[in-house]
Amino acid sequence: MPIASINPTTGETLKTFTALNESQIEEKLQRAADIFHSYRRTPFAERELMMLRAADILDSEKHELGRMMTTEMGKPIKGAVQEVEKCALVCRYYSENAKRHLADETIETNASRSFVRFQPLGPVLAVMPWNFPLWQVFRFAAPALMAGNVGLLKHASNVPQCALAIEDIFLRAGFPQGAFQTLLIGSDAVEKILNDSRVVAATLTGSEGAGRSVASIAGKQIKKTVLELGGSDPFIVMPSADLDKAVDTAVKARTINNGQSCIAAKRFIVASGIHDDFERKFVMEMRALRVGDPLEESTDIGPLATPQILRDLDEQVKKAVAAGAKVLTGGKQLEREGNFYEPTVLTNISHQSPIYCEEVFGPVALLFRVASLDEAIKLANATTFGLGSAAWTNDTEERMRFIEELEAGCVFINGMVASDPRLPFGGVKNSGYGRELGEFGIREFVNVKTVWIDK
């Protein structure tokens, strides 16, 4: 895959980049290893100030950065600007809370004193996806840098301008040269970097295949990994739910970021008593979405990020229809330039159809009818993924069942699954392992060192 910015709205190549050669990679790895020895000793107060400056830069440049994301990968500009604001928020969160999250923890034992100290590990490689080109990186980088680690970013090949902008923000914020570096490389260069002893750990956000590959290489080297992979989140609606609110949220939860979000709601599981009403309103609202130029403030859905993603989605829908699925709205690519796909709702989805168990990365919703709470939970869990889950109900017993029984890294009751700097984020099953954000996130890339002292 070339390292290039190609506008998904027009197909125009905006800029191409040459991948780093071996000696340039070597220089960057050595710089990361060298700077770690001094950077890890910078006082928290200094790191806090630099991280606050990064937040200020993000806030003051949110419109330019938002535009950059939109022209590189097609997300609607409203969401792009909000994404930059959220990056500023995560920088502020860790600036204010890292010291507290990583303070020594005393544990009473038979020693005169025993406690736990959290220490940085070293250079961490972050392999990142294009769908939230800034947010995915900042939610790794803010805690990693605050903990005293240094970061090496291998970003997705279709968002090189975003990748370079992030490095530039950290430099302008005052972080020393080498504390956070972008490596413009293809995925074929990752193995050698992971095998290098100067890189001590890795985090990957992306597809299951990429996760398996990175984790197995790191595993052979006995290096810690965090994996944030795909999802096929259920969105369950029970009879006691506020139906109008559930429908509005369902539309947003499926189509946010043009449907290309790991935690987008993908499977809508609705109790039979309210199913027909839900279907009617849901289809109506999906049809009413404005598809078009993502730089327009009024656009709800822009193009998919690459022609390949468009082809994959189209193929998934065609196979589902061939296996008996009914198209309630949409179901095809838009006849215009750019990678546009119609907001789509499918029902009657056969268990034999690949779409039943695959992740659907685009504005295509799968709608299911269930006769009972047990059936809803069973269907929700009938996936190899386990990232997010949402359940709509005002029945206390039902809530308890969802909280207890849904196999996912989070469950949102009467709300849309979303990440929040204060709350841990991550999955179970093939959605990955480890957590980002909150206190759990900053403790992933640290040595949890036990200290035991006798008189």
Residue ranges in contact with ligand NAP by CB under 6 A: 1, 127-131, 136, 154-157, 186-187, 190, 205-207, 210, 213-214, 228-231, 262, 359, 361, 387, 427, 432
| CA separation, residue 237 to residues 97, 145, 261, 293, 399 (Å) | 36, 41, 21, 32, 11
The Cα 297–Cα 202 span in angstroms is 37
Q: Which residue of this chain has its Cβ atom nearest to ligand NAP in the complex? A: 206
Least distance to ligand NAP from the beta carbon of 121, Å?
A: 20
In the bound state with ligand NAP, the residue whose beta carbon lies nearer, of 9 and 205, is: 205
Q: Which of 91, 162, 262, 410 is catalytic?
A: 262
Least distance to ligand NAP from the beta carbon of 120, Å?
A: 23
Q: Is 410 considered catalytic here?
A: no
Query: Is 136:129 a contact under the CB 8 Å cutoff?
Result: yes
Q: In sequence order, which residues have a C-beta less than 8 Å from that of residue 343 and are 6 or more positions away?
A: 255, 286, 287, 289, 291, 301, 329, 330, 363
Q: Is 262 considered catalytic here?
A: yes
Least distance to ligand NAP from the beta carbon of 449, Å?
A: 28
Query: Which is it for strands 113-120 and 446-453: parallel, antiparallel or unpaired?
Result: antiparallel
In the bound state with ligand NAP, the residue whose beta carbon lies nearer, of 231 and 292, is: 231
The Cα 55–Cα 62 span in angstroms is 10
H or E element in which residue 292 lies = none
Least distance to ligand NAP from the beta carbon of 354, Å?
A: 15
| CA separation, residue 34 to residues 122, 297, 348, 404, 446 (Å) | 10, 45, 58, 47, 18
Q: Which of 228, 342, 359, 398 is catalytic?
A: 228
Least distance to ligand NAP from the beta carbon of 426, Å?
A: 7
Least distance to ligand NAP from the beta carbon of 126, Å?
A: 9
Query: Which is it for strands 150-154 and 180-182: parallel, antiparallel or unpaired?
Result: parallel
Comparing C-alpha atoms, which of 321, 323, 322 is closest to residue 345?
A: 321
Instruction: Pull the structure tokens for residue 84.
Output: 């930059």
Identify each DSSP E strand in 18-131 by its residue range: 105-106, 113-120, 123-127
In the bound state with ligand NAP, the residue whose beta carbon lies nearer, of 224 and 281, is: 224
Q: What is the DSSP string of 159-225?
A: -HHHHHHHHHHHHHTTPPTTSEEE----GGGHHHHHHSTT--EEEEES-HHHHHHHHHHHHHTT-EE
- Burial (CB count <10 Å: 0-12, 13-18, 19+), residue 322: exposed
- Give the residue numbers marked as catalytic: 228, 262
